[in-house]
Amino acid sequence: MIRAKTILALLSLAAPAVAGDIPLAPPIDCTLGETCFIQNYVDRDPGPGAADFACGGLTYDGHKGTDFALPTEADMARGVSVLSVAPGTVKATRDGMPDIAMDRPGAPALDGRDCGNGVVVSHGEGWETQYCHLREGSVAVRKGMRVAKGTVLGQVGLSGRTEFPHVHLSVRRDGRVVDPFDPASGPATCGRAAAAPLWQNPLPYAPGGLVGAGFSTTVPGFDAVKAGLASPATLPAGAPALVLWAHAFGGRAGDAVAFEIDGPGGARIFEHRATLDRAQVRFFRAAGRRPPAGGWPDGAYRGTAQLMRGDEVLGQRTVTLRIGG
């Protein structure tokens, strides 16, 4: 069973406690933990290392915002709105940069445009927010426009310095980066109580998890998984193999992806455990088996993938298919 204390731990339970703080709504139209997830947080380590506000590893050195990510590029293609987190006035916009991940052929020179297509909103009293990596052609506001909390600013994209579809939200006051999960200045909490968050409703902290899983007849390529590889509903009895793959984030060295495949009647036909030898921000693993003599028996098949940290389940996905009639 997934331990709620980890996956759904609400590390902040109060409304903003300091006069003048700004209550924020999420910057993306999705369900956190289901159709989107937080890939990276503000780096709270003052030195060359990196630590998020909970002293976890979901950040990198010098990261100045919170990344709300989509599982796949297919999710991006369907269109997911980026929303203003608070009322304010649009200070600046940029559009027209292509949605090409920075690690792929054809990615444009950034020339200081690391944010890609983006919007900056001023909220008064020194507060401003910046929204980066929006989809080309999606920016829906212009400079000087008044926006309400929840106004659509654009859509999640792949522009600028990014390798996966997400919106990077930066929160600043008087030019200083503010971590909305723990707005107190200084390094990560590491045991002390976090300051009251800026979120109007608490957001869960997940130290890692699964964002997708599926069946295949071969080990897929990671590019296909990131693009949005679909799990088949049916396969023929002559399928050359039954492979279960899992797409995950926040992996640490020593974490493991556990695979189980059950055949007709619930009989266990395969299990495997793949251990990570290093930390990985986004990754996938796959495992499976060839058919028995005579081919796969007709019936329902169920695959379960889990991301494990010791004996704790950080995430789980279950998929099903039918073989034969």
Q: Mean pLDDT for each consecutive 10-residue tract of the chain (325 residues)?
A: 38 42 95 95 91 92 97 97 98 97 90 96 97 98 98 98 96 96 79 80 94 97 96 96 98 97 96 97 97 95 98 97 89
Q: Give the count of beta carbons closer than 10 Å to the beta carbon of residue 112.
A: 6
Neighbours of 124 (CB within 10 A): 11
Instruction: Quickly count: other Cβ atoms within 10 Å of residue 19's Cβ.
Output: 5
DSSP string, 236-302: -TT-S-EEEEEEEEEE-TT-EEEEEEE-GGG-EEEEEEEE-SS-EEEEEEEEEEPPPTT-PPSEEEE
Tell me if 34 sits within 8 A of 147, measured CB to CB: no
**pLDDT at res. 5:** 40
Give the separation between CA 315 and CA 210, rounded to whole angstroms.
5
Note the pLDDT of residue 223.
94
Q: Distance of alpha carbon 90 from its chain centroid, rounded?
A: 26
Q: What is the DSSP string of 9-28?
A: B-S--S---STT---B--SB
Please report the beta strands in the chain, taking only residues with DSSP state E, as ranges in sequence order. 37-40, 66-69, 81-83, 88-94, 117-124, 127-134, 146-147, 152-155, 166-173, 176-177, 209-216, 234-235, 242-251, 256-262, 268-275, 280-289, 299-309, 312-323
Look up residue 305 and give its two tokens: 């993938």
**In the chain, what are the domains?**
1-206 (2.70.70.10), 209-323 (2.60.40.2550)
d(CA 24, CA 198): 6
Q: What are phi and psi of 286, to 5 degrees?
A: -145, 150
Q: Tokens in use for 197?
A: 């968050």
User: Alpha-carbon distance 55 to 12, whole Å?
Assistant: 15
Contact 97, 139 (CB under 8 A): no
Residue 195: per-residue pLDDT? 76
Those residues with Cβ within 8 angstroms of residue 68's Cβ, 6 or more apart along the chain or in another chain: 26, 27, 28, 30, 32, 36, 37, 38, 39, 156, 166, 167, 169
pLDDT at 189: 64
> What are the angstrom distances between the C-alpha of 175 and each of 122, 129, 170, 178?
11, 10, 11, 9
The pLDDT tens digits for 205-253 are: 999 999 999 999 999 999 999 999 999 999 999 999 999 999 999 999 9
What is the model's pLDDT at position 295? 93
Which residue, 257, 224, 198, is CA-closest to 15?
198
